[in-house]
Structure 1
Amino acid sequence: MAKRRWRMKFLNSIQTKFVLLFILVIAPLVAFLIYVNTYARNIVRTQVTDSYEKTLANFINKTDELFMGAEKYLANFLHKELDTTAIDYPFREETRNTLIKVRTNTKFTYMLNFMPDVDSFTYFSPQHSTLLLTTNRSGYDRKYMAAQNLMDDVAKSSRIAYGTFLSDFVSIDGELYLIRIYRDFPDIYLGAWINLNRLLESLGAVHSAILSADGEVLVSHGLPPERVGQILNDRAEHNGSNPQYFLLSRYSEHQGLRYVILIPSTDVLQNLSFFQKVIYWMPAVIFIIVVFYIAFIRRVLLTPMRTLIRGMQRISHGDLDTRIELNASNEFNYMNFAFNNMAEEIKTLKVSVYEEQLRVQLAEMKQLQMQINPHFYSNSLNLISGLAQLGDQESVQHMTQLLARYFRYVTASSRTVLTLKEELDHIRDYLTIQQYRYPDILSFDISMPPELGSASVPPLTLQPFVENSIIHGYQKKTKSFRILITCGTEHTADGGKLVVVTLEDNGIGVEPAKLAALRQNVSDVSRAAGESRHLGIWNVYRRLSLMFGERQASIDFESVDTGGLRVMVRFPYKTA
């Protein structure tokens, strides 16, 4: 039921209705923006994909022709150059053998000029470990060593049959070479080297890669191989899609390689001119409309409404001086005028109630003032009796005078406000009486700047703390016990002035747990009233609150590093 009422209240709110109206106006614009954005992306992606698909297809056809041309040349090489089979024959004339090698190298060099995408050709005869390498690029020595190791391995492993081809890979100086090896009779191995890095660069794509048949990244352009592998893995995990890249791939059956082009989404959309302008400017247009709409509604309706609601809230919190200016539209001016009249009538009616509350508070303060520990009376009378039995008439006379002033101060119920000087004089009389009980043990010192003597304070504000200091703080009967009372001032953030009375002793102090409980009980009426040992402290706090107002006065406790307890009583500086 409560949830239903809250829903009805929410739906009936005028702010909710204006928000719904705003959504109905803006929703078509947002939907149009989303449609334009989606349409543009689809069109551009389709065009870019078709363009790169054609480029990739033409490139693979070209590389297939390159591979087939190189393979055809290797397969027919020995048949056209019959004397090259005699390179390994044991000629008596070393000159003829050398000439045949030179002629073979010349033929290879000639073909490299017609096949610029082929990096090198090799001729290998395992019978006498004869190896020829012809290249039109640098790195001859490293290529020769790599070819020697590769051809030896292929010949020993018998991985290739007569008249067939084998593909293998060699990495030199960070570049990967694909070597197509052909085995011819009589046990001759011919190889064509193709630099895959240079081949991939000729594709012309910003980001591209060549993969093996099992999906391993062999070489990449524009991105590290590890990054390409990560993109492909992410694409597989997201069911073939990747929000950062468009991927195009084509597999060459003849080469056994897969060529991949990775197109960044940002590169695809950077060619959008019209659609990008629409996407960029539409939020700005919507924002401007929203700003003007909200500003208009806020000025004409929401601001006057919130002012009226805020005034009602202040009235409910007791600020009866709240008035609203008549500077809105006619409808709101009429409501504000009625509100001001109502506030004035409430203020008039509340004056009598406030005066009655003052009378009740005054009676309560007088009652609280009389809640003083009665044990002190009997102890004092017993002390006078003891002094009389000892015949110390001077002390009896002094004690009687002190006690008379003490009783006169306590029983002065007609006075609810005294000066700080009078309160400290009373504390001095009380401590002097206590010195008769604890001679040569109890000492005290009270200091106060003269200008603070006229500060107003409720009667018996400090006595409960002094009593607690003697009763609870002093337990070692043989150790001297000292009480220090000092007065000072502090300034508040709003420029006000506080009187700070600090009471400090060198007693046994208070344990941290009890100190925390004591701080909690100062202003907690329900807990303090239920604990007689804290009733006097709460009594002081309550009377300070009645005199200065709630949260205007405070009582703080803290432990002294050398032992003992420090009590700080703060209240506003006011003079009678």
Structure 2
Amino acid sequence: MRIRLPKISWNSIRLKLVAGLFLVTVPLLALFFYNNHYSINVVHNQVAISNKNLISLYMGQIDTQLEAAEKNLLGLDTTNYDIQSMDEPNDEDEYQLSKYHLLTTISKNILFYESIDAFFIYNYERKDLLNISQSSVNYTEKIGVEKNLVQHLDQLAISPEPGPNRWYIRKIENSYYVLRTIKSGNLYLGAWVKAKTLLGPMNLIDLGSNGSALLITSEGVPMVNTNLTEDKGVDLSGEFQKFYLTGSEKNLMVVGEASQKGEFSLVAVIPNKEILQNLPRITQLIGWLSFAAIGLVPLSLLFLHRILLVPLKRLITVMNKINKGFVNVRMDNFNTSDEFILVNQTFNKMMSQIEELKINVYEEKLSKQKAELQHLQLQINPHFFMNSLNMLFNLAEVKNYELIQEMTLCLVRYFRFMFRSNLSFVTLEEELQHVRNYIRIQELRFPGHLTSQFSCPEFLKAIQIPPLLIQTFLENSIKHGITLEEPLHLSVSLDLKETGLKPYVEIMIRDTGKGFSNHVLNEIKLGNRIIDEQGEHIGIWNVQKRLSILYADEASVSCYNGFPNGAVVEIKLPFG
């Protein structure tokens, strides 16, 4: 079975973009990558080898000088009689004479060891230090080193651990020194040299204006200050078998050699720009290639503009109009790539379908909202039915025909209003008539225990409001607030308010009952149905839901407790 390859149109935007991208960028990127990577690697290796050999040579010279000084100390310890006399003298005169002879001997010997700053002999029992230094060591430094040296040697003398058997590092007054100590009885023979002194010959090495040669401790801490180490990303604790790059931007090359005689290493830190500055031909080539790439940019932009940006701009222009609500706009036909032709045709077809669907969805949404509103209103109707029948039965038992007639007439008016309350709106006057009729029924149920008061401007009675809006809260007040101990007073006041750009109708419903509990107020604020030991109460939630459907965010219901008692309901409806 033959495999059929997909057919690719020469007018395809994918083919154009991929071909253009490869033709413009791939050769340049490949050439840049190859030249830079290869050249930098070659230069790094050559510079590393050259500086590694140089560092190893200087490190060998330093080790040779330290080894010679160490042999001199060992020779004094094993062959010089004055050392033995100074360690265990027969008397004070012998001690002073031996000390004088050693001073003379060391003063002559130190002239042959220019890399060593000082030799010393310390008798820790007598706390007597003989310190002979080079003339280059200033007096202040000498005194500071002697003071620290006495403390250090005293600690070595009382320490149960054996002292170091090679050259080691000690920091004295913010300067690093390399020390060698040899214990001989009660004496310590030794030598010290400042790290800067050992590093002196390295000043002859040309590492560039920003390069630096460093002596570092075994932990990678520089013993001589340098600006290069201010970069927090510099790591000098690596292995020195081969070079490595360090620094926050990996722009510093490090080569080094560890000392065979001491706990330190000699390293060279060379910035990349110092290494690569000897590549004029490659730099020139890169410059010409950069200019060539810059020259290709306008051509690339023109190419992309014609095949991609112009069609996209047309599409975006149409989409912006649709975003503003103009769903009847369509894409015009243009000579463009195959993909955009397909997009334009599909887009126009899709917009026609969306326009048709939008009309259908809008009509369906209106029907759904109307059905939901009617369902919410009808939830209230059965609530009053059983109490009304029970009240008529009781009046019939006592044969109070006059009240039966009045009660029956009130119930007829009540249920007539309820059966037409599936309307979305009624006039305020009709709602108030229904509320007064409802209150009269409750007054007949609780004679002498219920009073009411209504206040409404005449010009507001013609406005449209949702039905059963006020009665729901009055019913709630009677249900929870009426008692046989004290009469319950209800008041309803309506007024037109204006606190901003839009006026609104304010409906205040108050009672003198016990008010809302904290739990109920919290549930009302959250918009939840109220559930207690008596079951689920949906009256207030019902009103909130209806107002949300009819007015969205333009209407609100606030519930709180009045002073000194009673519940207060504040309803705000948009006016006009």
Same fold (TM over 0.5): yes
Shift of 1:456: 1.3
CA contact (8 A) 1:441 1:481 kept: yes
Measure the CA separation in 1 of the matches of 2:424 and 2:155: 116
State the shift of 1:195 in Å: 1.9
2:462 is matched with which residue: 438, 454, 458? 454
Contact 2:180 2:190 in 1 (8 A): yes
Q: CA deviation at 1:151?
A: 9.4
User: Could you say which residue in structure 2 is the equivalent of 1:193?
Assistant: 192
Q: Quick one: higher RCO (CA 8 Å, sep 6+), 1 or 2?
A: 2
**Greater displacement, 454-463 / 322-331:** 322-331
State the Cα deviation string for residues 414-444 of structure 1 (Å, max 9, x = none): 9764322432343234224423433454344
Determine whether 1:42 maps to 2:64. no
Cα distance in structure 1, aligned partners of 2:127 and 2:274: 54
Structure 1 distance, partners of 2:441, 2:478, is 12
Q: 1:463 aligns with which of 458, 466, 471?
A: 471
> CA 1:235 to 1:443, structure 2 compared with 1: closer, same or farther past 3 Å?
farther
Q: Quick check: 1:534 aligned with 2:538?
A: yes
Matched AA of 1:573: F
The answer as to whether partners of 1:209 and 1:261 remain within 8 angstroms in 2 is yes
Output the CA distance in 2 between the equivalents of 1:180 and 1:446: 108
1-side partners of 2:41 and 2:408: how far apart?
A: 106
Q: Give the equivalent residue in structure 2 for 1:372.
A: 381
**Equivalent residue letter for 1:66:** Q
Q: Would you say the 8 A contact 2:169–2:263 is kept in 1?
A: no
Which residue is equivalent to 1:442? 450
1:252-309 deviation digits (Å, cap 9, x = unpaired): 33x2444153748777789699599899999999999998887766652234445667
Give the alignment's Cα RMSD to 1 decimal: 6.7
Asked if structure 1 preserves the Cα contact closer than 8 Å seen for 2:120 and 2:129, the reply is yes
Compared CA separation, residues 445 and 322, structure 1 to 2 (3 A): farther
Worse overlay, 140-149 or 121-130:
121-130
Secondary structure of the corresponding residue to residue 434 of structure 1: helix
TM-score by length of 2: 0.62
Q: Distance in 1 between matches of 2:372 and 2:145?
A: 111
Matched, 1:177 2:177: yes
Say which SS state the counterpart of residue 538 (structure 2) adopts.
helix
2:485 pairs with 1:478: yes
Report deviation, 1:134: 1.4
Per the alignment, residue 8 of structure 1 pairs with: none
The answer to whether structure 1 residue 573 and structure 2 residue 571 are counterparts is no
Within the candidate set 324, 327, 330, 1:322 is matched to 327
Task: Determine if the alignment matches structure 1 residue 431 to structure 2 residue 439.
Answer: yes
Contact residue 560 and residue 567 of structure 2 kept, 8 A: yes
Q: Does the CA contact (< 8 Å) of 2:524 and 2:541 recur in 1?
A: no
Letter in 2 for 1:210: I
CA distance in 1: counterparts of 2:245 and 2:440, whole angstroms: 92
What code does the residue aligned with 1:478 have?
A: E
The equivalent of 1:302 in structure 2 is 312
Q: 1:544 to 1:36 in 2, by over 3 A?
A: same
How big is the shift at 1:124?
A: 6.1
**Cα separation, 2, equivalents of 1:101 and 1:299:** 94
2:533 aligned with 1:512, yes or no? Answer: no
Q: 1:11 maps to which residue?
A: none
Q: For residues 205-253 of structure 1, what are the alpha-carbon distances to aligned partners after superposition, in whole Å with 9 as ceiling and x for unaligned?
A: 64744345xx68694644999x9999467889xx988675644331333
How many corresponding residue pairs?
Answer: 527
C-alpha distance in 1 between matches for 2:423 and 2:158: 122
Query: In structure 2, the residue corresponding to 1:462 is in which secondary structure?
Result: helix
Indicate the residue corresponding to 1:252 in structure 2.
259
Q: Which residue of 1 aligns with 2:426?
A: 418
In structure 2, C-alpha distance between the alignment counterparts of 1:26 and 1:443, rounded to whole Å: 91
Residue 134 (structure 1) aligns with = 132
Counting only pairs closer than 5 Å after superposition, residues 113-262 of structure 1 correspond to structure 2 as: 115-123=113-121, 132-135=130-133, 136=135, 137=137, 138=139, 139-144=141-146, 146=149, 150=153, 167=167, 171-180=171-180, 191-196=190-195, 198-200=197-199, 203=202, 206=212, 208-211=214-217, 219=223, 221-222=225-226, 231=235, 244=250, 246-253=253-260, 255-261=261-267
**Matched-pair contact (CA < 8 Å) for 2:454–2:493:** yes
Structure 2 match to 1:6: none
Aligned to 1:10: none
The Cα shift of 1:60 comes to 1.0
With over 3 angstroms needed to count, the CA separation of the structure-2 counterparts of 1:37 and 1:324, relative to structure 1, is farther
| Distance in 2 separating the partners of 1:170 and 1:514 | 76
C-alpha distance in 1, partners of 2:95/2:13?
104
Offset at residue 520 of structure 1 (A): 5.7
**1:381-392 alignment to 2 at 5 Å?**
381=392, 389=400
Change (3 A) 1:446 1:79: same
What residue identity is the alignment partner of 2:119?
F
CA deviation map 1:18-70 (0-9, x unaligned): 98789767873666666566446535533553353244223213313432453
Distance in 1 between the 2:426 and 2:227 partners? 87
Residue 191 of structure 1 deviates from its aligned partner by: 3.6
Whether the 8 Å CA contact 1:125–1:131 is kept in 2: the answer is: yes
Distance 1:156 1:21, change over 3 A: closer
Cα distance in structure 2, aligned partners of 1:223 and 1:288? 44
2:481·2:488 contact (CA, 8 Å) conserved in 1?
Answer: yes
Change (3 A) 1:268 1:532: same
Asked if 2 retains the 8 angstrom alpha-carbon contact of 1:487 and 1:500, the reply is yes
What letter corresponds to residue 60 of structure 1 in structure 2?
M
Aligned counterparts of 1:366 and 1:143: Cα–Cα separation in 2: 98
1:499/1:492 CA distance change after superposition, 3 Å:
same
**Contact residue 519 and residue 556 of structure 1 kept, 8 A:** no
- Percent of matched pairs sharing the same residue: 19
Deviates more, 1:395-404 or 1:495-504: 395-404
- Cα distance, 1:355–1:475 mapped onto 2, change above 3 Å: closer
Structure-2 separation of matches of 1:336 and 1:158: 88
Question: How many Å separate the matches in 1 of 2:228 and 2:270?
Answer: 15
Deviation of the 1:409 alpha carbon: 4.5
Change (3 A) 1:179 1:240: same
Between stretches 508-517 and 357-366, larger displacement belongs to: 357-366
What is the aligned partner in structure 2 of residue 61 from structure 1? Answer: 60
For structure 2, the residue ranges without an aligned partner over 5 or more in a row are: 1-11, 204-210
Q: 1:370/1:260 Cα in 2 relative to 1: closer, same or farther (>3 Å)?
A: closer
Task: Mark the CA change 1:167 to 1:147 in structure 2 (over 3 Å): closer, same or farther.
Answer: farther
Contact 1:372 1:536 in 2 (8 A): no
Aligned equivalents of 2:428 and 2:76: distance in 1?
A: 122
CA distance in 2, matches of 1:25, 1:322: 41
Provide the residue aligned with 1:9 in structure 2. Answer: none
Separation in structure 1 between the aligned mates of residue 468 and residue 263 of structure 2, nearest angstrom: 100
For 2:333 and 2:528, how far apart are their aligned partners in 1? Answer: 50
